[in-house]
Amino acid sequence: MVGCQREHALSTTVVSRARLGRGTAGLGIVLAAVGLVVLTASVGVAVTLGPADVSLVNVRDVLLNHLGLADIPVKAAKNAIVWEERLPRALVAACAGAGLALCGVVMQSLLRNPLAEPFVLGVSSGASTGAVVIGVLGIGGGVLGLSGGAFVGALVAFGLVLVLARFTSGGTSGVILAGVASTQFFSAVTSLVVFAVADSDETRGVMFWLLGSLEGMRWDDVALCAGVVVVGGVICTAAARALDAFTFGDDVAASLGIPVAQTRIGLLVVTALMTAALVSVVGAVGFVGLVVPHAVRLLVGQRHARVVPLAAVVGAVFMVWVDAASRTLFAPTPLPVGVGTAIVGVPVFVALLLRRRGRA
């Protein structure tokens, strides 16, 4: 009897929050719009940073020229620096940050675990193994390439997680335990290949990629990452009500008419594909999907109609500035962006934990 009353109370709370969310979703849109302005400014400023002297006016002129909106004389060197090097890099950083933050929001809600993040599904370690198999062993290199191998490895790792979760306790705990097992297995395979086969140059190249790298980004990388994030963002936004319900548990979600198993699997597949695609381009970049969702929830509360769009924007801004700092403060050899996100993310995460404890 008590359990039924508790479930009814939780269901009522979720319903009331969902109704309120429809009235306050506009706040999330406003915040996201402001965030987009900040993101645009951040990308513009980030493009100007570096050893070569490039101004915001140069960035504007190059952009207008390539969009066919103007014909402004720009030096060929500055045009190449902005259009071929820095702008694609900044945009890929923004897309990667947005996508990983979205995946973190979804994972933490689905698994009801504040430590959940995109790589809990073993996708990152699987991608690393795929990249090492291509880059060091040369297996399938003529067909897939490094990014293709990473994507295939990520999908194999996620498939293993689904199989293991099915044959364990199931539910959220089964997914988490399966993800831990998959992560450890593929990490061990990666280390074994690097230790046994790779020479010093290959090891250095592989380790740089494993730590996250935005070197050599091109416009096809921008198109891929942007497409993945847009599609994933639309799906995550549409699932905001379901994510609110999952926060209270499977029973409450089911009582609200949400197909729990199908929704969970569908969203897990979406986050896994997003993570796999992004990791295959930028490497294993951690802490974005862990820290950003917590920071956003402290700002706007728990309702996913606001959390989802704002997390994407905050994640994008975060990655743009971390990458800008990583490549300028440590020039001429840029710091791997995954190291930069960890250096910034760990103190921020500790501060969030202390603030949460102070509120408790």
Mean pLDDT value of segment 155-172: 81
Q: What percent of the chain has pLDDT over 70?
A: 87
Chain segment 54-86, per-residue pLDDT in tens: 999 999 999 999 988 888 888 999 999 999 999
In a domain, 59, yes or no: yes
In a domain, 95, yes or no: yes
Q: Taking the C-alpha atoms of 236, 46, 224 and 117 in order, what is their torsion angle to the nearest 10 degrees? A: -40
Mean pLDDT value of segment 130-150: 76
How sure is the predictor about 348, in pLDDT bands with cuts at 50, 70 and 90? confident
Instruction: Confirm if 36 and 267 have CB atoms less than 8 A apart.
Output: no
How sure is the predictor about 196, in pLDDT bands with cuts at 50, 70 and 90? confident
Instruction: Return the higher-pLDDT residue of 145 and 44.
Output: 44
Instruction: Return the higher-pLDDT residue of 227 and 146.
Output: 227
207, pLDDT greater than 50:
yes
In a domain, 5, yes or no: no
Mean pLDDT value of segment 135-158: 79
> What confidence score (pLDDT) does residue 25 get?
55
Task: Give ∠ CA 39-226-67 in degrees, rounded to 5.
Answer: 75
> What confidence score (pLDDT) does residue 357 get?
65
Chain segment 84-135, per-residue pLDDT in tens: 999 999 999 999 999 999 999 999 998 888 888 888 888 888 888 888 888 7
In a domain, 325, yes or no: yes
Entry field: residues in the chain:
360
Containing domain of residue 59, as a range? Answer: 16-359
Instruction: Return the higher-pLDDT residue of 49 and 195.
Output: 49
- 63: Cβ contacts below 8 Å, ≥ 6 apart: 82, 87
285, pLDDT greater than 80:
yes
In a domain, 178, yes or no: yes
pTM for the complete prediction?
0.87
220 burial via Cβ count (<10 Å: 0-12, 13-18, 19+): exposed
178, pLDDT greater than 80:
yes
How sure is the predictor about 45, in pLDDT bands with cuts at 50, 70 and 90? very high
Chain segment 330-347, per-residue pLDDT in tens: 877 888 898 889 888 888
By mean pLDDT, which of 191-205, 299-313, 334-348 is the weakest?
191-205
Mean pLDDT value of segment 158-176: 80
Chain segment 12-42, per-residue pLDDT in tens: 444 444 444 444 456 666 777 888 899 999 9
* Structure tokens belonging to residue 271: 């986050």
Mean pLDDT score of the chain = 84
Distance CA 105, CA 331 (A): 33
> What confidence score (pLDDT) does residue 170 get?
61
Instruction: Return the higher-pLDDT residue of 114 and 8.
Output: 114
Instruction: Confirm if 48 and 55 have CB atoms less than 8 A apart.
Output: yes
329, pLDDT greater than 90:
no
Number of domains in the chain: 1
Instruction: Return the higher-pLDDT residue of 25 and 265.
Output: 265
Mean pLDDT value of segment 218-244: 94
> What confidence score (pLDDT) does residue 141 get?
59
How sure is the predictor about 322, in pLDDT bands with cuts at 50, 70 and 90? very high
205, pLDDT greater than 90:
no
198, pLDDT greater than 60:
yes
Q: Each residue of 126-165: b (16+ CB within 10 Å) or e?
A: bbbbbbbbbbbeeeeeeebebbbbbbbbbbbbbebbbebb
In a domain, 9, yes or no: no
In a domain, 136, yes or no: yes
6, pLDDT greater than 60:
no
In a domain, 3, yes or no: no
Task: Indicate which CATH number applies to the domain containing 339.
Answer: 1.10.3470.10
Distance CA 189, CA 195 (A): 10
